[in-house]
Amino acid sequence: MPPLRIALVIAATAALFAHTAQPVEVTPPAVRKYLSEPLISKIYTADPAAHVFDGKIFIYPSHDIDAGITDRTDGNHYAMRDYHVLSLDQIGGPVTDHGVALDLADVPWAGRQLWAPDAAHANGRYYLFFPAKDKAGIFRVGVATGDSPAGPFKPAREPIAGAFSIDPAVYGDSDGAFYLYFGGIGGGQLDRWPGNHYDATALPPTATQPAVAPRVARLRPDLLGLAEPPREIQLLDTSGKPIVAGDEDRRFFEAAWLHRYHGTYYFSYSTGTTHQICYATGTSPYGPFTYRGVLLKPVKGWTTHQSIVEFAGRWLLFYHDSQLSGESNLRNVKLTPLHYRDDGSIETIDPFRN
């Protein structure tokens, strides 16, 4: 193989499996306007996990900072050190920043990188689920508890046994059971957990093999641990076959989220390298889920991370882009209405206006 072609192959492979190695970010044409404006501009926020607590929308984002890190290997420049909680009483109303809800320095087991969190309410308490690299550089999932949806939250001394990688998302079902979804390939290290056992030498699947699967596990009633071993979530095409690793337009990369609409479970996620938010549907919180389409087209920046919630009779999509800074690691959260068609499919959202 000619040297130039070898170099191109190596570059393409690195872009596929590194969290932020993709060199081409989405830049909107100058004539297009943004569909939505940032909810807050005093700090940089991303990965918004939205929930309705006490009649308000509470948003649990990651808190982007400029840590002066130029090494983008495995997303090292995403060096977030704390979490803030945001809230709003009504759509279009003022957004309150409740300040620091959890600091990296207060998590005994964590070493660095507080990435995308999520929250839940049960047992009269509020729970914050979050990923961080431990002292050995391996992403784990932790949990912290508090008496208010705005925090502060007190973390457990150890990460949740059996939970790993990044992007924890919690879904509370109508029967009272709670499920934890997690995982992200590349910098999120999910590729290194075949069979739920960490292996730093594990190789990613080939382009024609089934893609690395996100995980789900039912939580214990106290929400402080898993009630069962994590299961792999099957993402299928319309013919019932697993989506393969080379199908970058549809395969899972990160940002798992589950919601339910008219009895159907909707699993949404980011495709990472192709910058889309896609969704699939199923009849169980465990899956399998069948691919249905693109929920959100690429935003400005490298990629985005979503949550979906119903509030005051309207369904809302929360996401982030890089409108304020133009930098992929200094992002801002946004929201926009989400609309279902009569057949249960979701209208694709373009983050820009013509």
| Residue pointed to by tokens 């949990």 | 143
Is 89 in the active site? no
Q: Identify whether the C-beta of residue 316 lies closer than 8 Å to the C-beta of residue 296.
A: no
Query: pLDDT for 313-329, tens place per residue?
Result: 999 999 999 999 999 99
Catalytic residue among 74, 191, 232, 254: 254
Work out the angle at residue 271's Cα, subtended by the Cα atoms of residues 268 and 275, and round it to the nearest 5 degrees: 110
For position 90, what pLDDT does the model report? 96
Is 232 in the active site? no
Q: Identify whether the C-beta of residue 48 lies closer than 8 Å to the C-beta of residue 61.
A: yes
Domains present along the chain, CATH in parentheses: 3-353 (2.115.10.20)
Q: pLDDT 10s digit of each residue in the chain, 354 long?
A: 444 333 333 333 343 334 434 446 777 666 689 999 999 999 999 999 999 999 999 999 999 999 999 888 889 999 999 999 999 999 999 999 999 999 999 999 999 999 999 999 999 999 999 999 999 999 999 999 999 999 999 999 999 999 999 999 999 999 999 999 999 999 999 999 999 999 999 999 999 999 999 999 999 999 999 999 999 999 999 999 999 999 999 999 999 999 999 999 999 999 999 999 999 999 999 999 999 999 999 999 999 999 999 999 999 999 999 999 999 999 999 999 999 999 999 999 999 997
Query: pLDDT for 16-36, tens place per residue?
Result: 334 434 446 777 666 689 999
Q: Facing residues of 337 across strands?
A: 316
What percent of the chain shows pLDDT beyond 70? 92
Q: Identify whether the C-beta of residue 45 lies closer than 8 Å to the C-beta of residue 63.
A: yes
For position 73, what pLDDT does the model report? 87
Catalytic residue among 47, 74, 191, 248: 47
Query: pLDDT for 160-184, tens place per residue?
Result: 999 999 999 999 999 999 999 999 9
For position 26, what pLDDT does the model report? 76
For position 74, what pLDDT does the model report? 87
Separation of alpha carbons 84 and 101, rounded Å: 5
pTM: 0.92
Burial track 113-136 (b if 16+ CB lie within 10 A, e otherwise): bbbbbbbbbeeeebbbbbbbbbee
Separation of alpha carbons 131 and 127, rounded Å: 13
For position 7, what pLDDT does the model report? 38
Other residues' Cβ atoms within 10 Å of the Cβ of residue 302:
25
